[in-house]
Amino acid sequence: MARNFFVGGNFKLNGSKQSIKEIVERLNNASMPENVEVVICPPAAYLDYTSSLVTKKQVSVGGQNTYFKAAGAFTGENSVEQLKDLNVKWVILGHSERRSYFHEDDKIVAEKTKFALDNGVSVILCIGETLEEKKAGITLKVVERQLDAVIAEVKDWTNVVIAYEPVWAIGSGLAATPEDAQDIHHSIRKYLASKLGDKVADETRILYGGSANGSNAVTFKDKADVDGFLVGGASLKPEFVDIINSRN
């Protein structure tokens, strides 16, 4: 089946009102395909501002994190209800930086994912292996373990997009070859089929999230199981538009 091309932009802890205004204006004015879905994820402090600037119908706004409680004494956390109040439709969960720096394990990621979905926010679910795990030849074991935790909690995957992010490629300038990415994505889809059925596996978009940029994005064009990208640093630059248009 044809899955709509999806490009997420994770700004991480970067940006100012001025730089975000420039990024959004560039997207608003860009020519892009009708059937592409673009989600930009600025720091939480700029979510409302970013939402107010977006006019392009293919572009929506996402958060970089949210919690598994609706409200309460959870200093520094982001609430799903508050994201929705700002017209934020998506959230990135399970990013390797959250897993590594903030010690979020598979169970926490699964709880956050279930809570976001149950309360009406779609999820970009990140999975992926470290360099040590890649060298040990356990990439598939790692991503299957990460998926299993979410599969145990989430039955309806309609509003989930999976981002496979080889941790060793993020910010390193390294990237998996399109052939390597296709192999892993195909294995992930087969695993989803074995656990959730062919329909869910066929309909779930799987993004590549390891140092995609304006130069290499087009090389993934013909890979059947690469349904788009989760972009880090390049989402802050003009080349983000080239990534969005890389399927043209």
Catalytically annotated residues: 95, 165
- Residues 6+ positions from 5 with CB-CB distance below 8 Å: 33, 35, 36, 37, 227, 228, 247
Helix axes 139-151, 178-196, angle to 10 degrees: 40
- Cα(218)–Cα(100) distance, integer angstroms: 30
Alpha-carbon dihedral 92, 95, 100, 102, rounded to 10 degrees? 0
Instruction: Name residue 38's beta-bridge partners.
Output: 7, 59
Instruction: Name residue 60's beta-bridge partners.
Output: 39
CA atoms within 13 A on the CB side of 166: 28
In our burial notation (b when 16+ CB lie closer than 10 A, e otherwise), range 222-237 reads: ebebbbbbbbbbbbbe
Q: Residue 86 phi/psi, 5° resolution?
A: -100, 10
In degrees, to the nearest 5, what angle opens at C-alpha 180 toward C-alphas 179 and 186? Answer: 85
Q: Is there a contact between 82 and 120 (Cβ–Cβ < 8 Å)?
A: no
